[in-house]
Amino acid sequence: MELNGITEKILKEITDWDGIFSGAYSLRENGECISFQNSDHIRIVKKEDKPGIDIYISEKASGETVYIPACVTKSDVKDLVYNDFHVQSGADVIIVAGCGVHTDGEEGSNHNGIHRFFLEAGSHAVYKEKHIGFGEGSGKRIIDPVTYAEIGDGAVLEMETLQLGGVDSTVRDTKAVLSKDAKLIIHESILTDGEETAETKFAVDLDGEDSSVDLVSRSVARGNSVQEYSSVINGKVRCTGHSECDAILSENGRVNAAPALNASSTDASLIHEAAIGKIAGEQIIKLMTLGLTEEEAEEKIIAGFLGA
Amino acid sequence: MLSLVDVKLDLETKDNLINGVSLDIMPGKLTVITGPNGGGKTSLAKLIAGLYVPTSGKILLDGEDISHLSVTDRAKKGIAYAFQQPVSFKGITVRELLEIASGNEMSEMKMCRILEKVGLCAREYMDREMDSHLSGGEMKRIEIATVLSRPAKYIVFDEPEAGIDLWSFTSLIDAFETLKKDEDRALLIISHQERILQIADYIAVIKDGLITQSGTKDEVLPELMDGSRGYCPKGKEIF
């Protein structure tokens, strides 16, 4: 497969691509699917009524990985895509998504991925998503992902999302509904710098008995960047919910956090933790006593904090 | 040799923290600094590691004046410092911290050897984050392990016994005894603990920012233990 250099660069950044994807994949470039491949247990079908694909993961998938990266390589691309994941009962799958936006002109580009997950009872999916932006152009790089998940009885969805700067603006909107014994684990990391803005919103309905959510959001706001965090966990039955929002500020960075817990059952156990502040001076000093410079120490602390 | 020459320290918050201290710390020897709380022991350790800059006086490392070198530069010159209060890091694992300390990637076997010295099992701990999920005692032991990982020539431990259980303390004493056999490394321990004083080569007592007693263990310890000089470490708890 012949790819342009920017697409290759994006793929290397957001996936473990080394010239080839083994197994199922769908590669999107500048608003079009340019290549895809099915595997024995994962079938990718192009949507007829709108841009996007349906990904069918069979019960026989066991630890298989499917890649669905999206690359925007130039200015003035407005990409909107609808991807639906249908995970059959008993399936165990890793979904590697992610998006890179490169602009080289004055016009901005954006990618809006609307992802829906339908996890049948007892299935397990790990969703890994990395967003990057780069390029010399002044055009804005915008990524606005929307995620909706229905998690069936005893099913588990783990989401690891990472955005490490270069994206001028992002609005992330994540909603999930959990059935009995279902589990949702979210680890989100966002770094903003310069004039970048990031907004992330979570709404989780714990509808099924003994369902649980563990939502950890870590953010770093540098330069003049601004981040907004909001989460709502609704515990309607016996369930457990934990959300944690930690932010590191440097320079003129700003973070606003608005976590909410709504419990309408005496057996709903919901916890929220939040901390916003600069890097603790003692952390930098400790790493300096191990031989790092102040700048290296700060980078190490931020990389560890974000899981980068 | 690491030498403090008439070192004084005033801080904005307190004057005369260190009031003119001269001390030589020699390779191949274990020097223990002891004395009452608030006497200046930790300030002295921080002066050596570079966390504080002396108001006057000099700190010489093998003859070179390092009084105004940064913490990083002193670390690179071979000074290691174990904090009295360990520092937590969200997202940084024990393995990463030990690798930063050693300056290299570490095999599991090497990590085992180091963590064993502080009574921890590498397999259980190396991938855990250095955060509040660890107990104070576990953090303290990992803090000591980071310093044991360092290829340092001058090693400063600030109250290593605090927060350590008895079993781990015994293996820590063994680690100190092994370290002091190394002719190229100098060990400085701030401690109240009698068992650490027992393995010292030299002891200095610091009170009100001044060294009030110093000499070999045989010279200083008997007087300390009978309390005739106003400070006795006898009965100091290690927990």
Q: What is the pLDDT of residues A204-247, one digit of tens each?
A: 999 999 999 999 999 999 999 999 999 999 999 999 999 999 99
pLDDT category, A103, cuts 50, 70, 90? confident
Q: Is the CB of B46 inside 8 Å of chain A's CB atoms?
A: no
Q: How many CB pairs under 8 A join A and B?
A: 60
Chain A residues in contact with B91 (beta carbon < 8 A): 218, 303-307
Taking CB atoms and an 8 Å limit, are B100 and A307 in contact across chains?
Answer: no
Residues 6+ apart with CB under 8 A from A26: A33, A35, A36, A37, A44, A53, A55, A67, A68
- From CA B238, how far away is CA A80, in angstroms rounded? 64
- Asked if residue B237 has pLDDT above 70, the reply is no
- Asked if residue B48 has pLDDT above 70, the reply is yes
Mean per-residue pLDDT, A67-84: 90
pLDDT, tens digit, 9 for 90 and up, residues B112-170? 999 988 888 888 999 999 988 898 888 988 999 999 999 899 999 999 888 777 777 88
- Which residues of A, range 191-220, sit inside 8 Å of B by Cβ? 218
Taking CB atoms and an 8 Å limit, are A292 and B81 in contact across chains?
Answer: no
- Give the SS3 label for residue B6: strand
pLDDT, tens digit, 9 for 90 and up, residues B163-207? 777 777 888 888 888 888 888 899 999 998 889 999 999 999 999
Taking CB atoms and an 8 Å limit, are B91 and A304 in contact across chains?
Answer: yes
Taking CB atoms and an 8 Å limit, are A290 and B100 in contact across chains?
Answer: yes
Which of A287, A291, A294 lies nearest to residue B103, judging by beta carbons? A291
Taking CB atoms and an 8 Å limit, are A291 and B100 in contact across chains?
Answer: yes
Taking CB atoms and an 8 Å limit, are B89 and A294 in contact across chains?
Answer: no
Taking CB atoms and an 8 Å limit, are A283 and B49 in contact across chains?
Answer: no
Taking CB atoms and an 8 Å limit, are B87 and A280 in contact across chains?
Answer: yes
Which of A280, A282, A292 lies nearest to residue B100, judging by beta carbons? A292
Shortest Cα–Cα distance, A229 to chain B (Å):
19
Mean per-residue pLDDT, B29-54: 94
Taking CB atoms and an 8 Å limit, are A286 and B87 in contact across chains?
Answer: yes
Which of B72, B92, B150 lies nearest to residue A288, judging by beta carbons? B72
Give the pLDDT of residue B180: 85
- Which residues of A, range 141-160, sit inside 8 Å of B by Cβ? none
**Is residue B188 within 8 Å of B157, Cβ to Cβ?**
yes
Taking CB atoms and an 8 Å limit, are A292 and B72 in contact across chains?
Answer: yes
Give the pLDDT of residue B239: 32
Ordered alpha helix ranges (H), chain B: 41-49, 71-76, 94-102, 108-117, 122-125, 136-149, 166-180, 194-198, 217-226
pTM: 0.85
Chain A residues in contact with B66 (beta carbon < 8 A): none
Interface ipTM = 0.91
The one-letter amino acid at B123: R
Per the prediction, chain B carries an average pLDDT of 89
Ordered alpha helix ranges (H), B103-216: 108-117, 122-125, 136-149, 166-180, 194-198
Q: Which of A45-59, A162-176, B14-28 has the lowest mean pLDDT?
A: B14-28
Which of B91, B96, B150 lies nearest to residue A306, judging by beta carbons? B91
Give the pLDDT of residue B233: 66
Q: Which of A21, A38, A28 is nearest to A98 (CA)?
A: A28
- Asked if residue B18 has pLDDT above 80, the reply is yes
Q: What angle do CA B128, A290, B174 make, to 5 degrees?
A: 75
Taking CB atoms and an 8 Å limit, are B83 and A307 in contact across chains?
Answer: no
Give the pLDDT of residue A18: 80
Per the prediction, chain A carries an average pLDDT of 93
Shortest Cα–Cα distance, B113 to chain A (Å):
19
pLDDT, tens digit, 9 for 90 and up, residues B73-109? 999 999 999 999 999 999 999 999 999 999 988 888 9
Percent residues over pLDDT 90 in chain A: 76
Taking CB atoms and an 8 Å limit, are B71 and A285 in contact across chains?
Answer: yes
CA atoms lying within 13 Å on the CB side of residue A162: 18
Chain B residues in contact with A288 (beta carbon < 8 A): 70-72, 75
Element spanning A269, H or E: strand A268-277
- Asked if residue A283 has pLDDT above 60, the reply is yes
**Nearest residue in B to A308, CA atom:** B91
- From CA B185, how far away is CA B28, in angstroms rounded? 5
The one-letter amino acid at B137: G
**Is residue B132 within 8 Å of B87, Cβ to Cβ?**
no
Give the pLDDT of residue B165: 78
Chain B residues in contact with A246 (beta carbon < 8 A): 90
- From CA A260, how far away is CA A271, in angstroms rounded? 10
**Nearest residue in B to A248, CA atom:** B90
